[in-house]
């Protein structure tokens, strides 16, 4: 077998963007050269300013140009970067590995639906039903790209089951958990709060501002949480299409002094927020595998997360965090208040979470990934 020496990583986002794929790609870029593997990064962000279709064509030619002297093309999603990557791999007879961290067709369908009550459709049901032409096309594209991959890497057993629903042989799907390396942040909680000028009981939630991330329900419960926690502050980090709706919701609830939309920030600053917070809340209707939960656990935040997807592979309920049903407002509110009132429970969660994070070591993730890419 030819030894792999050069890899092209095609990713939708890359630092200074924040998010799992950006963090993951940067970690591979930093670590793989230590194992004798040269890494090139090609981010879709380089062409995102262009109009639709045009940017995909330009990105395809960029991959074609960069792939001439590499051994493996490693795409970080099955559509935006996956489709041009697999086409290039076929043209140049290169090995093609795909990482799947979510269901692109499902996510785009959720964005398309305007009726909030219709927003969340179970992924299993989604792949058993028929939808509009564009949604069906996206489903076919992600399945075709996956079927033409030499190997598929997923960060959770849950996502392996999702990809199997696309019609992919499970033998071709490898689970490699994401990793987290917190060595770069040495601040204490007090120093982090001083850096950000934060005070009171700090709640943090983060992610793309889309309906299924559950920020609306989290904002809704804040007036009731405020009655029990008079100094509570909620900071929501991220950007997205629901931003204006959330701004209006905050104003209508008269929560503009207690709920803040931080916007998109650098990952380094996000880690400071996570170190500064008391409770990290992830009320999401769908998570393939949340890198944010790992980061929050490593930053010694107490965790309240929805019992969906890959969250169940990280959080053990009442051991290293609380698990609640998605959008179950009363339960979500009560769990936040319970953590606020019970210092011993918070300390237990933090201690156990720090042990849990050790299972997701950078070294294991890098070594396992190199084995697959080779």
CA 32 to chain centre: 22
Angle ∠(288,293,21) on CA atoms, nearest 5: 55
Spell out the domains of the chain, with CATH numbers in brackets: 6-177+361-373 (3.40.50.2000), 189-357 (3.40.50.2000)
Which helix (H) or strand (E) element contains residue 354? helix 343-357
- Six-digit token pair at 16? 């200074």
**pLDDT for 296 beyond 70:** yes
Tell me which DSSP letter residue 317 carries: B
Bond into 16 cis (ω within 30)? yes
**pLDDT for 117 beyond 60:** no
* Cα distance between residue 348 and residue 337, in whole Å: 16
* Cα distance between residue 187 and residue 185, in whole Å: 6
**pLDDT for 52 beyond 80:** yes
Which ranges of 304-342 would DSSP assign to H, the alpha helix? 329-341
Q: Are 32 and 370 in contact (CB under 8 A)?
A: yes
Could you identify the residue written with the tokens 């849950």? 158
**Residue 75 pLDDT:** 98
> Could you tell me the CA-to-CA distances from 8 to 18, 25, 69 in Å, in that order?
20, 10, 10
Band (pLDDT 50/70/90 cuts) for residue 216 is very high
Band (pLDDT 50/70/90 cuts) for residue 227 is very high
**Residue 118 pLDDT:** 52
- Lowest model confidence (mean pLDDT) among 195-209, 273-287, 354-368: 354-368
Band (pLDDT 50/70/90 cuts) for residue 180 is confident
């Amino acid at each position: 077998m030819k030894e792999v020496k050069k890899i092209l990583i095609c990713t939708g986002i890359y630092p200074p963007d924040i998010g799992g794929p950006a963090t993951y790609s940067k970690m591979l870029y930093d670590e793989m050269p230590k194992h004798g593997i040269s890494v090139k990064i090609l981010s879709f962000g380089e062409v995102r300013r262009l109009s639709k279709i045009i940017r995909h064509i330009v990105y395809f030619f960029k991959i074609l140009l960069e792939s001439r002297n590499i051994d493996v093309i490693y795409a970080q999603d099955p559509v935006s970067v996956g489709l041009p990557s697999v086409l290039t791999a076929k043209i140049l007879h290169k090995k093609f590995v795909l990482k799947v961290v979510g269901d692109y067709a499902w996510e785009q369908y959720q964005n398309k639906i305007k009726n909030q009550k219709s927003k969340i459709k179970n992924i299993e049901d989604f792949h058993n039903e028929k939808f509009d032409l564009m949604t069906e096309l996206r489903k076919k594209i992600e399945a075709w790209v996956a079927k033409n991959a030499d190997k598929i890497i997923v960060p959770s057993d849950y996502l392996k089951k999702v990809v199997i629903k696309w019609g992919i042989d499970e033998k071709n799907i490898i689970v490699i958990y994401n990793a987290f390396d917190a060595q770069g942040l040495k601040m204490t909680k007090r120093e982090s709060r001083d850096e950000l000028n934060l005070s009171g009981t700090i709640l943090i939630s983060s992610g793309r501002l889309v309906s299924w991330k559950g920020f609306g329900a989290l904002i809704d419960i804040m007036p009731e949480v405020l009655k029990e926690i008079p100094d509570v502050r909620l900071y929501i980090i991220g950007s997205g299409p629901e931003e204006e709706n959330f701004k209006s919701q905050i104003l209508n609830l008269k929560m503009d002094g207690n709920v803040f939309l931080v916007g998109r920030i650098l990952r380094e600053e996000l880690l400071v927020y996570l170190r500064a917070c008391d409770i990290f809340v992830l009320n999401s209707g769908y998570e393939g595998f949340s890198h944010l939960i790992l980061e929050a656990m490593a930053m010694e935040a107490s965790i309240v997360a929805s019992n969906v997807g890959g969250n169940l592979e990280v959080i053990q309920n009442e051991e290293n965090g609380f698990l609640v049903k998605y959008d179950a407002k009363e339960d979500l509110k009560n769990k936040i208040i319970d953590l606020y009132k019970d210092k011993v429970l918070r300390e237990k969660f933090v201690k156990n979470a720090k042990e849990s994070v050790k299972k997701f070591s950078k070294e294991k993730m890098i070594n396992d990934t190199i084995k697959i890419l080779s």
